[in-house]
Amino acid sequence: MRILLLGKDGQVGWQLQRSLAPHGEVVACGRAQCDLADPDRIRSIVRDVRPAIIVNAGAYTAVDQAESEPVLAHRINAVAPEVLAAEAARSGALLIHYSTDYVFDGGKEGPYVEGDPTGPLGVYGRTKLEGEEAVRAAGGKSVIFRTSWVFGARGNNFVKTILRLAREKDSLNVVDDQVGSPTPAAMIATVTGVGLAMLRHGAALEPGESRLYHLAAARPVSWCGFARTIVGLAGQAPGFDLRLRPEAIAAIPSVDYPTPARRPMNSRLDCRRLESDFGLQMPDWQPYLERMLQLLALKQNGY
């Protein structure tokens, strides 16, 4: 069983290299091996590797920058999945693809289920939705996981930004009216591995079947609440020299922190379909955050 993993150097891709290993021979590619903005290179890699499973963990994720680079975001988030899905359909491979809560406009009162109407607010969300649609339209076997607020020890993310600011500042303003579930990259990778086993590497899917699942950690929180938890836990752990204290993080509305791209106010995802089909229960994100902080502290101390 040969598995082609794209985006190996990202937060999720890094974790997937481990969780996919028990399922077969993993051929892991980063941007240097396969630039997702280059459709011809994507086709060449897929045809050379001849995988039974393609896992696309690569994406253009710079939400604000996408507003000024819509063409590049479209190539990576929409065209690349379209090419991968076409190649998977041609060869009979299973495609696993990752999407985002940003396909929704955030106006719903409760958590979003997979069948809710979409309505992205910016280029990033729109191009990710186009990628979803292209995967489903290709006619091959596919599984799409929508996730939210990804964090991990690898790469850049909100946790690392808050830690950096906490070393520099005595006070901080963070928006408190956007709510979602911080989701560990390690958890996404683990669920992907479980999903592959439950689906028997795609054999349990009907020809041409495409499944969509929401995959997010339990216990939604606001960005401000998440930031206070990060600083509170890091302040109690050895290895972090923070000036900022949790109580010095002020809650502000989104209107007081304008950004080039609008964010959905409600990013809560209902994961009951995933839990039911795979026999899982989505865990709380905090133990993963605690482990991440431990790893970062060890790294800072040279271990």
Which residues does the annotation mark as catalytic? 124
Query: Rounded distance, CA 127 to CA 4, Å?
Result: 23
CA distances from 260 to 100, 101, 135, 164 (A): 18, 18, 28, 22
CA distances from 265 to 67, 212, 221 (A): 19, 22, 11
Give the Cβ contact number of residue 115 at 10 Å.
7
Residue 32, SS3? coil
Answer for the pair 295, 152: CB distance below 8 angstroms, yes or no. Answer: no
Query: Rounded distance, CA 36 to CA 57, Å?
Result: 11
Select from 179, 181, 265 the least CA-distant residue to 216.
181
Alpha-carbon torsion, ordered 26, 29, 34, 40, to 10 deg: 10
Answer for the pair 153, 163: CB distance below 8 angstroms, yes or no. Answer: no
- Positive or negative torsion for Cα 158, 164, 166, 168: negative
Crossing angle of the two packed helices 123-137 and 80-91, in degrees rounded to 10: 10
Buried b (16+ CB within 10 A) or exposed e, 123-146: bbbbbbbbbbebbbebebbbbbbb
